[in-house]
Amino acid sequence: MEALVADKEEITWHLACRVDDVPTDGGACVLINGHQIAIFHFARRGEWYATDNECPHRQQMALSRGMIGSQNDEPKVACPFHKKTFSLRNGQCLNDDGYQITTFPVKVTDGNVYIGVE
């Protein structure tokens, strides 16, 4: 995978996939530096998000297969197994304060999706 280092930030941008590799209003999983990252194309909102693929509730690599939606205008993903829901913006669990996931910046350029990793 191609990696680009941003000039003013401590973020390295990794080429994750092509836009067409991620289902519209759905997710896909990519492996960056040995870490599974879920990428979501929230087309209804015109937005892209990236999070850990692992749901911390049962340590299952499943979030990329979860359903996305909104809760009070907060974009979210629901784990397909036990329905824990997480903010796609900040990773906070919206229905259980005991869980959190990591989120990553996303940029889309020339049909490519890049994930920023510190």
Instruction: Quote the pLDDT of residue 67.
Output: 96
Alpha-carbon distance values, 31 to 21, 40, 66, 80 (Å)? 14, 14, 17, 20
> What global pTM score does this model have?
0.89
What's the order of all strands across the beta sheet hosting 67-71?
A: 67-71, 74-78, 85-87
Q: What b-and-e string marks burial along 99-108, b requiring 16 or more CB atoms within 10 Å of the CB?
A: bebebbbbee
Query: All domains of the chain, ordered by start, with CATH?
Result: 22-117 (2.102.10.10)
Instruction: Quote the pLDDT of residue 77.
Output: 98
Instruction: Quote the pLDDT of residue 9.
Output: 61
Mean pLDDT by 10 residues, the chain (118 residues): 50 97 98 97 97 95 97 96 95 92 98 96
